[in-house]
Structure 1
Amino acid sequence: MSISKIYWGGKYYPVPYENGLAGEGFAAGKALSIQAMPDMDCSRFYVNIAKWCSGIALHFNPRFDEKCVVRNSHIDGKWGKEERQGAFPLKAGVIFDLEIKNELNAFQILIDGEEFCSYTHRLEPCELCTIQISGDVDILDIQLQ
């Protein structure tokens, strides 16, 4: 027998969740790791990486009802063009690890250690200081490295 993850119930972080990213924030070269579990009846949830009051650099939005993961940015009060390429890697009620790496030209997004996609920066990758998570998901762990 092999055990890879144990979930003992309970929510570690309230949803919706919003918090500042301490120190130099989510600067280029940093990685944000989130361990979460979509609700059994999950429709949608999102993870936003944002500048304080001035736009969302990355909107990561798994949509179980559409079987796709939408990526986008919100700049100057407007949503940009959605990106939806790629398979749908998540399952309701199953814990997953999301890692977002902030590189100079793009966010690299991994799910359960596997490369999922790259999302080219539409806002400067510096001064990213806020994380927002909302929707049908339990958050188990958040780490900025």
Structure 2
Amino acid sequence: MESPGLQRTIQDPVVPYAGTIFGGLQPGQMVVVHGIVPLDSDRFQVDFQCGSSIHPRSDVAFHFNPRFKGSGHIVCNTLQNEKWGLEEKIYHMPFVKGQPFEIIFLAFPHKFQVSANGKNLLVYKHRIGLESVDTLSISGKVKIDTIGFTSQPIILGSQPTSLAINYTSENMGESQKNLSFTVPYKGNLPCPIIPGKTVAVKGEVYKDAKRFAIDLKPSGSKDIALHLNPRMKEKVFVRNTYLFESWGEEERNLLDFPFSPEMYFEILIHCEVHRFKVAVNGVHLLEYKHRFKDLCKINEVSVVGDINLYDVRVW
């Protein structure tokens, strides 16, 4: 996930490290950690704590603990009243000894979402309220280059000042505008998607999601210039175009499927002369050559499927 401007950056902290999170963590804020795993490392941990007491030990709202024994795994847990809860284990190890890494912790009202090296890694639901977290600690065999804190929360909901798309409910008059992002969503763009324009869609995948779709199309037409269709069960990201009342050939090839249940995402669709470029959470994912050639007619976006939709913009 692409990290935005940082409010505060700590350079080359000595490990073990413990520092106050000034102002606490707000929903939508990120903590970005850059470092390297030493060749002799057996484990390290990043803890989001409720204070910095050692005796008695402060509660740990979120314990993130990569362990390198065997094929490696990551343990997540919560410490309350000096007692550990039930471990949640992830048997996927994105960290390689001797290699640099980036971890992004994104805070939500009900969970942490973690990405590593540009890929979504895990979701950890709060067992202690986010408002209690005021300390970050890092320990174990790890070298940390920087710790960064975002200056402002990402937008997690609709705000009239952030909208570039006016949505009109089919049950309302044209004079009444509904500034929500209810799915299915349909919005008229203030300008056509011509080369140089970008559409951003932000949302969160349902826990039991099957699929969702984003379509860019001409208003009032059955044609669809770009159909983006992540399918969760199959783990495929289908791209296609609908012309002359017929679907074209699907494009499916991708090295990695970038979505997972309960994952927050930001999809950027950038239009160029010959193609669309698509990025997910700040990482370039794919290119799609134009099949619908009259780009100046693409003036509508629709979103359907198993997601909570937080924001839609164009610039």
Count of residues paired in the alignment: 144
Query: What is aligned with 1:140?
Result: 310
- The within-5 A match list for 1:41-80 is 41-52=208-219, 53-80=221-248
Match of 1:29 among 181, 189, 196: 196
Query: What is aligned with 1:82?
Result: 250
Query: Cα deviation per residue 1:24-48 (whole Å; 9 max; x = unaligned)?
Result: 2222210001111110000000000
Normalised by the length of structure 2, the TM-score is 0.44
Matching residue's letter, 1:60: L
Q: Percent identity?
A: 28
Query: What is aligned with 2:177?
Result: none
Query: What is aligned with 1:93?
Result: 262
Matching residue's letter, 2:310: L
Taking structure 1 as reference, are residues 104 and 137 closer, same or farther at Cα in structure 2, changes over 3 Å only?
A: same
Q: Secondary structure at 2:106's aligned position in 1?
A: coil
Match of 1:130 among 285, 300, 308: 300
Query: What is aligned with 1:4?
Result: 106
Normalised by the length of structure 1, the TM-score is 0.92
Q: How far apart are 1:51 and its partner, in Å? A: 1.2
Matching residue's letter, 2:207: M
Matching residue's letter, 2:280: I
Query: What is aligned with 2:45?
Result: none
Matching residue's letter, 1:51: P
- Alignment check: 8 A CA contact 1:106 1:120 kept: yes
Structure 1 residues not aligned, in runs of 5+: none
Query: Cα deviation per residue 1:105-138 (whole Å; 9 max; x = unaligned)?
Result: 0000000111100000001122201101001011
